[in-house]
Amino acid sequence: MSADLTKTPTETPDESSEETATGTSRGAIPITAAQLPRLAPLLVAVVGAAVAAFFWLILDWPPVGSLIVGGIVYLLALPAWSLAVEGRRRATDRMMTGLVWTSAVIAMVPLVSLIYTVISKGAGVVNSEFLTYSLFATQLDQPPGIYHAIMGTLIITLGAAIISIPIGVLAAIYLVEYGKRNRLARMVTFLVDVMTGIPSIVAGLFAFALFTLLFGAGFQGGIGGSVALSLLMIPIVVRATEEMLRLVPDDLREAAYALGTPKWRTITKVVLPTTIGGIITGVTLSIARVIGETAPLLLIAGLAAKTNTNPFDGAMTTLPVQIYSFNSRQETIDLAWGAALVLIVIVLALNLVARLIGKFYAPKTGN
Amino acid sequence: MSTTTKDKPQAQEPVPRAITSVGDRVFAGLTLGASLLILAALASVFIFLFAKGLPGFNRAAEVYGPRADSFLGYVAPLLGGTVIAAIIALIIAVPLAWGIALVISHYAPKFIAVPVAYLVDLLAAVPSVVFGLWGVIVLAPKMVPAFDFLNSYFAWIPIFDGDVSNSGRTIITAGVVLAIMILPIITAITREVFSRTPRLNQEAALALGATRWEMMRLTVFPYGRSGMVSAAMLGLGRALGETMAVAMVLSLGGWSGNLLGPGNSSIAANIASKYKERSEDLLSVLIASGLVLFLLTFLVNFAARWIVGRAERKMAGA
């Protein structure tokens, strides 16, 4: 009887019986189950690729359509094979693995397409004249340029940074060092989180309502754009700074207190220098985030062809608004791509700088 | 001798306190002021929008344009377009984001997970106006065959019945662009909660013989459920308020009941396209519609943050 039971595993196909023979036998339940060969996903992928190639080359489908067909073949064939050999649970596992990876690949498609399009269509437009002339023609054959929009973007974003950074950093210091989770601090934290979700157009409408109430109906100016952007930027600065300040170990603060240092000097001379790299990273990322905003500036900063460097007087164009304006007319769409390339390069450069700063000045957390 | 022993305790107490308190009080006041300023800013957004928008709720009938004669009639179709576009975006983005989050947190080895996470963050850095440009010029023409297909085989569903836009600039295209734009925020939050699943729970599930997917279902998803929900809601908040992508992809006009046709614009896009007509009447109507949008997104974000906060408190208590 017992000899019969120990033999049951040998009925399962070849490779599993070998393993049970080497391992200790423990009665009727087989320790191993049939498995697909390790290279099974690769094999099925080859089949899928072959199907895609068949559709593309023989049936003349568009390449994207054939790729989708090949992908579906892969996603169905592997679980089907697994279902036949390994059973339902492993088949489900294989199918979900396939789907999860597919979602990651799908998400990369628009990013690659977008960056490819911007570079291929924009590279031909961008040259030194495009960057140094404004749209305001002073000569008959002046080439179109976006100098005015670049200047406007820099000035308005600088204004927003001047408003947001002190408020954001000080509020974060209050939350971490003074508030200590009292009622006000909890409320500010919560509302700052909610503020990160304010639609940018609402920030624009707010600045519009504020400045037209104060300065009359027709007001347009860069400062309005700065105020609108800072409404979007402050929550990001607060969150980033708060997270960094919480990383500073309490040992440092206590050491400073033990030497008799007052609290405010401990914060400015010990806590802030320790974490300054992280704060600069957060601030740079927040600038990168608002520099591409369009909707609020469309409402309050306006559109002008001439270079304007005074944020308190007259319309001031920014790059995103200029892109929107280029896009609205058929003959300037090429210029829109050029401006988009410049804008993306600025944003990516800011991101890169932020990450480098974050890497080099990472706060040392305790021991 | 006796005088010095008497003096000492008196001198020790007040002197250091007197030096510190001035600087401390000023600095503490500054930080408190900054916090209060943030609250005041949020409150003043409400107040100013209300002050400028209030007349917009009740204007003469002709201000509300050719299609409507009251504020409700004006804003309801736009609200419909806003919500439908956001829902389309969510339907596309949420499963994708969960998949990517799983790849980053569990499926991929580190040398793949780190670049993938970086690329998704890069998606968040692309300005919305560039997404709009891409949506109009690259994506919209490619969507036309799909729309023709839907119209010829699924016209029995009312939303696919009617004229098909031959430029591809429809609410579905806008929804796809919105989906790409909200993908990073949903992915980032979901990824965070997935990776915080206790290691022991996962290993216990695997040790009991669960396959990897069963381990996800048994440990990762239950643990991160509130995070997954609130991530989707934050994405919804973004999609509702996004302006430029929708304004550039869609032509003017509110919800028409046909997903494949032109129009179906949103509140935000409507403001961006009409603000130029600087008539006082229309402006107040636009600001009033902006107030409606603000309240809607505020409620969605409020609910999402509340769910996150509740989950965090629960975990801290456990």
Band of residue A256 on the pLDDT scale cut at 50, 70, 90: very high
- Averaged pLDDT for residues B102-112: 91
Candidates B134, B239, B230; CA nearest to B188 is B230
Query: Could you tell me if residue B149 is left (phi over 0), alpha (psi between -120 and 50 degrees) or otherwise beta?
Result: alpha
Question: What are the pLDDT digits (tens) for B172-184?
Answer: 899 999 999 999 9
Considering the domain delimited by B58-317, tell me its CATH architecture.
Orthogonal Bundle (1.10)
Contact B52, B287 (CB under 8 A): yes
Out of A235-239, A242-246, B263-267, least confident range: B263-267
Task: Provide the number of CB pairs (under 8 Å) joining chain A to chain B.
Answer: 266
Q: Does B52 touch chain A (CB under 8 A)?
A: yes
- CB-hemisphere CA count at 13 Å for B139? 29
- Position A235 scores a pLDDT of 93
Cβ of B211 within 8 Å of Cβ of A320? The answer is no
Cβ of B290 within 8 Å of Cβ of A333? The answer is no
pLDDT at A1: 39
Whether residues A116 and A190 fall in one domain: no
Determine contact, residues A344/A330, Cβ cutoff 8 Å: no
Contact: B31, A178; criterion CB under 8 Å: yes
Question: Average pLDDT in the B86-114 region?
Answer: 92
**Cβ–Cβ contacts within 10 Å for residue A309, how many?**
11
Nearest to B311, CA basis, from B223, B234, B235: B223
CA distance A358 to chain B (A): 14
Is A160 found in the same domain as A249? yes
Which residue on chain A is closest to B301 by alpha carbon?
Answer: A194
Average of per-residue pLDDT values in chain A: 84
Do residues A203 and A337 share a domain?
Answer: yes
CA distance B312 to A26: 46
Q: Calculate Rg over the CA atoms of chain B.
A: 27
Query: Is the pLDDT higher at B83 or at A38?
Result: B83
User: Average pLDDT of A302-322?
Assistant: 84
> Is residue A206 domain-shared with residue A305, that is, in the same domain?
yes
**Which chain B residue has its CA at the smallest distance from A195's CA?**
B42
- In the predicted model, what is the mean pLDDT of residues B247-254? 77
pLDDT of A303 strictly over 50: yes
pLDDT of the residue at A27: 61
Same domain, A166 and A302: yes
Residue that is last in its domain, among A89, A122, A155: A122
Residues A162 and A213 in one domain: yes
Q: What's chain A's length in residues?
A: 367
| Together in a domain, A184 and A113 | no
Question: How far does the CA of residue A321 sit from the closest CA of chain B (Å)?
Answer: 8
**Alpha-carbon gap, residue B94 to B179, rounded angstroms:** 8
pLDDT at B12: 46
Domain boundaries, chain B: 58-317
For residue B302, list chain A residues with Cβ-Cβ distance below 8 A. 194
Q: What is the mean pLDDT of residues B291-309?
A: 86
Among chain B residues, CA nearest to A286: B125
Chain A CB within 8 Å of residue B316 CB? no
- For residue A39, being part of any structural domain is answered with yes
- Whether A15 has a pLDDT exceeding 70, the answer reads no
Predicted confidence band of residue A6 (pLDDT cuts 50, 70, 90):
very low
Q: Does B35 contact A at CB distance below 8 Å?
A: yes
pLDDT for A225 = 92
Same domain membership, residue A205 and residue A169: yes
Select the residue of A167, A213, A298 nearest B48 (Cβ to Cβ): A213
- Residue B100 has its nearest CB partner, among A107, A175, A217, at A107
* Cβ-based neighbour number of residue B79 at 10 Å: 20
Evaluate if residue B3 carries a pLDDT over 60: no
B275 reaches A (C-beta below 8 A): yes
Q: What is the pLDDT of residues A67-93, one digit of tens each?
A: 888 888 888 888 888 888 888 888 899
Q: Is A248 helix (H, G, I), strand (E, B) or coil?
A: coil
Which range (A11-25, B203-217, B275-289) has the least confidence? A11-25
Domain count of the fold of chain A: 2
Contact between B95 and A187 using a beta-carbon 8 Å cutoff = no
Cα B284 from chain centroid?
Answer: 25
> For the segment A210-236, what is each residue's pLDDT rounded down to a tens digit?
888 888 777 888 899 999 999 999 999
| Percentage of residues in chain A having pLDDT higher than 90 | 25
Cα(B109)–Cα(A365) distance, integer angstroms = 26
Q: Would residue A134 count as lying in a domain? A: no
Tokens 């990762």: give the residue: B220
- Answer yes or no: do A235 and A305 share one domain: yes
pLDDT of residue A11: 44
Q: B273 and A294 in contact (C-beta within 8 Å)?
A: no
Q: Is A161 exposed, middle or buried (0-12, 13-18, 19+ CB in 10 A)?
A: buried
Cβ–Cβ contact A337 with B under 8 A: yes
- Lowest model confidence (mean pLDDT) among A127-141, A290-304, A328-342: A127-141
In the predicted structure, residue A184 carries a pLDDT above the cut 60: yes
* Domain assignment of residue A129, yes or no: no
pTM for the full model?
0.84
Whether residue A59 is found in the same domain as residue A182: no
Is residue A131 assigned to a domain?
A: no
List CB contacts (< 8 A) between A206 and chain B.
Answer: 44-45, 48-49
Q: Which domain holds residue A49?
A: 35-122
A155 interfaces chain B, CB cutoff of 8 Å = no
pLDDT value of residue B207: 93
The predicted pLDDT at position B32 comes to 92
Mean of all residue pLDDT scores within chain B: 83
Residues of chain A neighbouring B39 (CB-CB closer than 8 A): 187-188, 191
Residue of B nearest to A330 (CA): B137
CATH number at residue A333: 1.10.3720.10
- pLDDT of residue B7 exceeding 90, the answer is no
Q: Are residues A77 and A156 in the same domain?
A: no
Query: Nearest-CA distance from A90 to chain B in Å?
Result: 7
pLDDT confidence of residue A16 = 44
So what's the ipTM on this one? 0.83
- A188–B309: do the CB atoms touch at under 8 Å? no
CA A4 to chain B, closest CA, distance in angstroms equals 26
Q: What percent of chain B has pLDDT over 90?
A: 27
Q: Is the pLDDT of residue B18 over 60?
A: no
Residues 168-197 of A with CB under 8 A from B: 168, 170-171, 173-175, 177-179, 184-185, 187-188, 190-197
- A262-276 tens-digit pLDDT: 888 899 999 998 888
Q: Quick check: A199 and B268 CB within 8 A?
A: yes
The DSSP code sequence of A274-329 is: HHHHHHHHHHHHHHHHHHT--HHHHHHT---SS----TTSB----HHHHHHHHHTS
- Based on the domain organization, do A109 and A240 belong to the same domain? no
User: Has residue A44 got a pLDDT over 90?
Assistant: no
Confidence label for A362 from pLDDT (cuts 50, 70 and 90): low
Predicted pLDDT at A4: 44
Residue B25 exposure: Cα atoms within 13 Å on the Cβ side: 6
